[in-house]
Amino acid sequence: MDFEKIFSKAIKYPLNLQVFVLMFAVNAALSYSGFYIAALTNPSEITSLITVGVNLIPVAIISILITTFFMGLYIDNAAKYFSGGRKSLAASLPAAKKRFLRLLGTYLLVTAILLLAAMPLIAVVGLGSAGLSASGNILTVLAGMAIGFAVLFVAVFFVSLVPYIAVLGNAGVFGSIKASASVVRRNKLSMFIFWILYAIIAIGIGLLSLPVTFTYVIGSSADPIVLILESLISAYTTLFSYSAFANFWLSAKKK
């Protein structure tokens, strides 16, 4: 597995101005829409909180649909870049349209799988917050959390290639999940190394963005400048992730 090529291409892919500006615009629009609705109400009132929730439902649905479409667009485009250099986003529009429903189906199914995998962790955290840790069973809670994280990681590990197979492969919704698990089983060591390298680079990007993140936490998260900076960082990170996983899938496919 040529990890140098996988990650060097993934790091360079977001640097294309056309690719980056569109992703930034999408992220900024989605961020502003959510904060705008939340800002319309007074969060100190129960009725306002209900209003926020009701208003956010259509925003969440639209966000999922938009995110899914652009995910397909960028996965296909990143794969084209990995295989043969720069390609315009227009060249990936047919694939994004054709694979949209399949990708949406895998997105929803994978989300459901990960939620189920997270249930043990959620249960343990819930018990701990209810006072179990204070009764002398802190080690039991920590062990339960460790098991919960392990279950969740294994689930993520085996389904992480599903969206990429849905866009770049020929499998359907359930076939993409089966194919992802199969590819990971055949390339367990390579996938593990990939995740370590991916985490290191992602942490590096996160450290570079610490000033913005710190401002986001202590200041007003709805401040326009903070939202713009967050959208810039999010755009690069998202494009890097799409490209890295697409590159891994293409490399594993060749083996």
pLDDT at 81: 92
Identify the sign of the CA torsion 235, 236, 237, 240. positive
pLDDT at 129: 53
Q: What are phi and psi of 32, to 5 degrees?
A: -65, -35
pLDDT at 248: 94
pLDDT at 207: 77
| Inter-helix orientation angle 3-12/224-254, to 10° | 150
Instruction: Please state the domain extents for the chain.
Output: 3-254
Mark the ranges of the chain whose per-residue pLDDT is less than 50.
39, 46, 132-135
Side chain identity at residue 111, one-letter code: T
pLDDT at 190: 93
CB 14 within 8 A of CB 236: yes
pLDDT at 212: 58
pLDDT at 155: 85
Alpha-helical (H) ranges within the chain are 3-12, 17-39, 46-84, 93-98, 100-127, 138-159, 162-168, 173-186, 188-208, 210-218, 224-254
* CA atoms of 190 and 76, how far apart (whole Å): 22
